[in-house]
Amino acid sequence: MPWLFLLLALGAVVIAFTTTSVPVAAIALLLSLVFVVIGVLGLLAQRVGSQTRSEAMMVDPVELRRLREQAEARRAATTPQDSISRTPSPGP
């Protein structure tokens, strides 16, 4: 759909350059500007819409906590037991 607005803008520019009437040329150039802005905003909206993530693919907090615990368990299993703990100690 945005490409249609850009084609309309091109048509308005052609009309503006081929007419001998100044008011018609001014209106055609103004329409061309409006169609270009609408077309570019439409293209940007399509691009942003195509790059958004699906909400179905998002991880809920419970699943995220479970994955963190699994990663911490794997990390603890691969490091020696005498290493410094990664959890901060409680303050005084």
Return the ∠ at Cα 87 (arms to 69 and 75), rounded to 5°.
Answer: 45
- List of residues 6+ apart from 46 with CB closer than 8 A: 2
User: Tokens 């503006």 label which residue?
Assistant: 16
Q: How far apart are CA 8 and CA 2, in angstroms?
A: 10
Q: What pLDDT score was predicted for residue 85? A: 54
| Dihedral angle, C-alpha 46, 30, 21, 14, nearest 10 ° | -20
Q: What pLDDT score was predicted for residue 89? A: 56
Those residues of the chain that have pLDDT short of 70 are 54-56, 80-92
Q: How far apart are CA 45 and CA 50, in angstroms?
A: 9
